[in-house]
């Protein structure tokens, strides 16, 4: 699986690492513009983006083969009677290895894990399984799947900050499903901030600005790199 690495746009602050998981049917390149959007709309320019691509697999619901973190058995989540737990766990192993690789390469760089749609579901599964913890989780236009991970959370998982956002007009994953997912996380004791926006299954500038604010709010103060002439 190919992984795209984008180095920070600026070295004025210590870098953070954001591993980003794309949605169903696309690849890591789908979010190549996200780094610049965080800088443009949120003045967050110290992000190292890590953009992996999910494996190609059969997606039962669509009778197609495409990039996906796990299989779907129904086009509607409300009608989904079972989950591809094996597929989720296989992808989780790959994402965990990627997190560890980034920890080894950049031990001083806080790691954030984020994703969109199916990628958001994986970000929640993996992000709430980390010991030591990651800096935070960003879950956009996604949901909480029926995975054993959410039956009982560790103290570390409960303290991991989560930014969860959704479009009120989303026709792919309904806002009702997103709010049920929020309820699941809250009942499990997770630390979640939930935002909704008047949009469909997409990302808007206000959302990107709020993500940057959330990351800054949960980041340790950093100092600018200076050098003496």
Q: 192 forms bridges with which residues in the sheet?
A: 162
Instruction: Spell 80-90 as b/e; 16+ CB within 10 A means b.
Output: beebbeebbee
First to last CA, the chain: 44
pTM across the whole model: 0.93
Tokens at residue 35, please? 């780094």
Question: What residues does each domain of the chain span?
Answer: 3-217
Give me the tens of pLDDT residue by residue for the chain, a chain 229 residues long. 589 999 999 998 999 999 999 999 999 999 999 999 999 999 999 999 999 999 999 999 999 999 999 999 987 776 677 899 999 999 999 999 999 999 999 999 999 999 999 999 999 999 999 988 999 999 999 999 999 999 889 999 999 999 999 999 999 999 999 999 999 999 999 999 999 999 999 999 999 999 999 999 998 654 333 333 3
What's the rounded Cα separation, in Å, for the pair 14 and 45?
10
Specify the CATH number for 3-217; select among 3.40.1190.20, 3.50.50.60, 3.40.50.1820, 3.40.50.2300: 3.40.50.1820
pLDDT score recorded for residue 81: 73
Using alpha carbons, select from 212, 215, 177 the residue that is nearest to residue 196. 177
Active-site positions read: 117, 170, 201
pLDDT score recorded for residue 1: 56
Q: 163 forms bridges with which residues in the sheet?
A: 138, 193
Burial of 145 (0-12, 13-18, 19+ CB in 10 A): buried
């Amino acid at each position: 699986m190919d992984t795209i690495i984008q180095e920070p746009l600026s070295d004025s602050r210590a870098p953070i690492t954001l591993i980003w998981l794309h949605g169903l049917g696309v690849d890591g390149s789908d979010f190549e513009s996200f780094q610049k959007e965080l800088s443009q709309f949120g003045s967050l320019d110290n992000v190292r983006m890590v953009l992996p691509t999910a494996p190609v697999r059969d997606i039962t619901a669509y009778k197609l083969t495409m990039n996906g973190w796990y299989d779907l058995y129904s086009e509607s989540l409300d009608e989904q009677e079972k989950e591809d737990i094996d597929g989720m766990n296989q992808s989780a192993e790959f994402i965990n290895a990627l997190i560890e690789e980034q920890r080894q390469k950049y031990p001083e760089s806080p790691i954030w894990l984020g994703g969109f749609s199916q990628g958001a579901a994986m970000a929640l599964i993996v992000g709430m399984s980390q010991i030591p913890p990651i800096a935070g989780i960003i879950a956009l236009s996604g949901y909480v799947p029926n995975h054993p991970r959410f039956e009982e959370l560790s103290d570390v998982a409960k303290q991991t900050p989560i930014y969860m956002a959704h479009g009120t007009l989303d026709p792919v994953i309904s806002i009702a499903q997103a709010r049920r997912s929020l309820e699941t996380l809250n009942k499990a004791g997770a630390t979640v901030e939930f935002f909704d926006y008047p949009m469909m299954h997409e990302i808007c500038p206000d959302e990107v600005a709020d993500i940057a604010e959330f990351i800054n709010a949960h980041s340790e103060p950093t100092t600018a790199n200076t050098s003496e002439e």
